[in-house]
């Protein structure tokens, strides 16, 4: 006999949870038909139960303790939309008693995802987290099911809508960084404190989650070399355009014979790349598999309803298993540390832009720094500036990343260099 209802414990009642409750109400019939029973929220945990809520919570027990919700006997499925590390104990409580978990918590997953997967496997249940990377794009489901046995060589992704909006606006409207950030804030694409977005940390968290699924390796996000878009100037975007590139903040996972190259940084990418047309607040995940070749997943990476739909998709999948009595083998997760290729050893092309004194001999000094670090130049432009300055823009050939960084350090130390050089990697395989 199937249960009369799948009883849901919900942690959080903020932006995503409110969207989730709305979809639960609006899609009630579809959900019941898909699952074979209705999904009914029995308990909700919030920080402040006295706060007025936008969602209708009549008939629902509202409390402040997430662990109590996870442990409650009238909860068959735990949906965690509170965020942060503090909810770990609640997730552990649910998983240890065999209750499946759905979460959007990229931060916790990138820190302790492997531990949570192990807890789920040990009790023959599941933890699903489609909404945690790529928001509404069903890329984790695809990796978990249809692509489970594929071997990937490459994953390159635009995973942060805030920075993608800023870069797109700078490129399209000729705005500078501060103006574009301001516009992102006004449209609700940037939080009041966008540090995690701008520094690339948010992208690194999501990359670590995707890589666990696509490459079956466990990589804490803090070990991924990460650079953000702070300091990107309008002139860099103009120069990118002149050379046939666009600028994107990328999460990159590239399989080499001697290890996995993982990194997050802004990059010039050729305009012909599919990812070049992922603009504004949209996200894109490009994958290259041995059997499947190229694939692009594209869509909204954040926002109440796209994220809530990803959560609902996971919730319905988990609920179907509850109703069908599906149990999983108590298998250890397959993710391993995996061999890494250090960023120092990665070979890549670079864009460099320098402001130097406009006098004879300066170019030779710059060339000396590059040559001394075995970096050769593929293209160069020099433009006369004002006040006796010249702007030099260069694209290098492939070189070891450490060698280019050494050369840039050397150039920055030349007395004729007026401003710290700009250096951006080119991603053009």
Ligand X SMILES: NC(=O)c1ccc[n+]([C@@H]2O[C@H](COP(=O)([O-])OP(=O)(O)OC[C@H]3O[C@@H](n4cnc5c(N)ncnc54)[C@H](OP(=O)(O)O)[C@@H]3O)[C@@H](O)[C@H]2O)c1
Phi/psi for 310 (5° steps) reads -65, -40
Q: CB-wise, 107 or 320, nearer to ligand X?
A: 107
Is residue 84 at the binding interface for ligand X, with CB under 6 A as the rule? yes
Spatial contact of 79 and 308, defined as CB atoms under 8 Å apart: no
Is residue 14 at the binding interface for ligand X, with CB under 6 A as the rule? yes
State the minimum distance, in angstroms, from the CB of residue 287 to ligand X: 20
Cα angle 13, 284, 300; round to 5: 30
State the minimum distance, in angstroms, from the CB of residue 364 to ligand X: 51
Among 7, 8, 12, 251, binds ligand X (CB under 6 A): 12
Is residue 25 at the binding interface for ligand X, with CB under 6 A as the rule? no
Residue of 206, 248, 409, 419 marked catalytic = 206
Is residue 211 at the binding interface for ligand X, with CB under 6 A as the rule? no
Is residue 66 at the binding interface for ligand X, with CB under 6 A as the rule? yes
Q: Mark the segment that binds ligand X (CB under 6 A) among 45-53, 350-358, 380-388, 416-424.
A: 45-53
Please list the residues that pair with 340 across neighbouring strands: 260
Active site residue 206: yes
State the minimum distance, in angstroms, from the CB of residue 185 to ligand X: 15
Among 47, 145, 238, 339, binds ligand X (CB under 6 A): 47
Query: Could you say which residues in the range 87-116 bind ligand X, by CB under 6 A?
Result: 87, 104-106
Phi/psi for 80 (5° steps) reads -105, 110
- 3-class DSSP assignment, residue 108: helix
State the minimum distance, in angstroms, from the CB of residue 260 to ligand X: 25
Phi/psi for 341 (5° steps) reads -95, 115
Q: Residue 239 has which token pair?
A: 């120069």
Q: CB-wise, 12 or 228, nearer to ligand X?
A: 12
Please list the residues that pair with 262 across neighbouring strands: 253
Half-sphere exposure of 86 (CA within 13 A, CB side): 11
Q: For residue 346, what are the CA distances in angstroms to 185, 218, 258?
A: 35, 20, 11
Among 6, 10, 13, 210, binds ligand X (CB under 6 A): 13
The DSSP symbol for 21 reads H
Give the binding-site size for ligand X (rule: CB under 6 A): 27
Is residue 83 at the binding interface for ligand X, with CB under 6 A as the rule? yes
CA dist., res. 141 & res. 314, Å (int): 9
Q: CB-wise, 299 or 410, nearer to ligand X?
A: 299
CA dist., res. 239 & res. 155, Å (int): 26
Is residue 266 at the binding interface for ligand X, with CB under 6 A as the rule? no
- Distance between first and last Cα of the chain: 55
Is residue 181 at the binding interface for ligand X, with CB under 6 A as the rule? no
Close Cβ partners of 212 (under 8 Å, ≥ 6 residues apart)? 113, 114, 218, 219, 335
Q: CB-wise, 133 or 155, nearer to ligand X?
A: 133
Q: Residue 76 has which token pair?
A: 């068959």
Close Cβ partners of 409 (under 8 Å, ≥ 6 residues apart)? none
State the minimum distance, in angstroms, from the CB of residue 249 to ligand X: 17
Q: CB-wise, 18 or 34, nearer to ligand X?
A: 18
Catalytic center residues: 206
Site residues for ligand X per CB under 6 A: 11-17, 45-48, 51, 66, 81-84, 86-87, 104-106, 131, 135, 302-303, 307
């Amino acid at each position: 006999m199937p249960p009369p209802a799948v009883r849901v414990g919900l942690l959080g009642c903020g932006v995503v949870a409110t969207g989730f409750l709305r979809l639960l109400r609006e899609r009630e019939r579809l959900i019941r038909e898909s699952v074979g029973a209705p999904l009914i929220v029995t308990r909700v945990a919030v920080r402040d139960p006295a706060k007025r809520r936008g969602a209708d919570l009549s008939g629902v027990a509202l409390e402040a303790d997430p662990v109590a919700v996870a442990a409650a006997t009238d909860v068959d499925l735990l949906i965690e939309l509170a965020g942060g590390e503090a909810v770990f104990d609640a997730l552990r409580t649910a998983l240890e008693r065999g209750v499946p978990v759905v979460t959007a918590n990229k931060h916790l997953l990138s820190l302790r995802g492997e531990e949570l997967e192990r807890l789920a496997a040990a009790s023959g249940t599941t933890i699903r987290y489609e909404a945690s990377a790529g928001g509404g794009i069903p890329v984790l489901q695809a990796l978990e099911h249809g692509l489970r046995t594929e071997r990937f060589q490459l994953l390159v992704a635009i995973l942060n809508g805030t920075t993608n909006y800023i870069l797109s606006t700078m490129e399209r409207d000729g705005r500078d960084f501060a103006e574009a950030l301001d516009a992102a804030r006004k449209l609700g694409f940037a939080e009041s404190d966008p540090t995690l977005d701008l520094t690339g940390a948010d992208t690194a968290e999501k990359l670590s989650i995707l890589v666990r699924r696509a490459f079956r390796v466990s990589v804490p996000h803090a070990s991924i070399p990460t650079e953000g878009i702070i300091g990107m100037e309008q002139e860099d975007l103009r120069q990118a355009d002149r050379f046939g590139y666009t600028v994107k903040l990328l999460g990159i996972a590239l399989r080499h014979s001697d290890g996995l190259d993982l990194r997050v940084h802004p990059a010039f990418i050729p305009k012909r790349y599919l990812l070049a047309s992922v603009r504004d607040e949209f996200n894109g995940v490009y994958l290259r598999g041995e059997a499947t070749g190229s694939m692009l997943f594209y869509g909204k990476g954040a926002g109440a309803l796209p994220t809530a739909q990803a959560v609902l998709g996971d919730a319905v999948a988990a609920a179907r298993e509850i109703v069908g009595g599906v149990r999983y083998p108590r298998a250890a997760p397959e993710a391993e540390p995996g061999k890494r290729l250090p960023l120092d050893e990665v070979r890549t092309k670079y864009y460099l832009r320098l402001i130097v004194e406009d006098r004879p001999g300066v170019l030779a000094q710059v060339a000396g720094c590059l040559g001394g670090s075995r970096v050769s130049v593929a293209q160069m432009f020099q433009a006369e500036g004002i006040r006796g300055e010249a702007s030099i823009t260069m694209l290098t050939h492939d070189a070891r990343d450490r060698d280019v960084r050494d050369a840039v350090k050397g150039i920055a130390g030349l007395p004729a260099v007026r401003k710290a050089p700009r250096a951006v990697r080119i991603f053009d395989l």
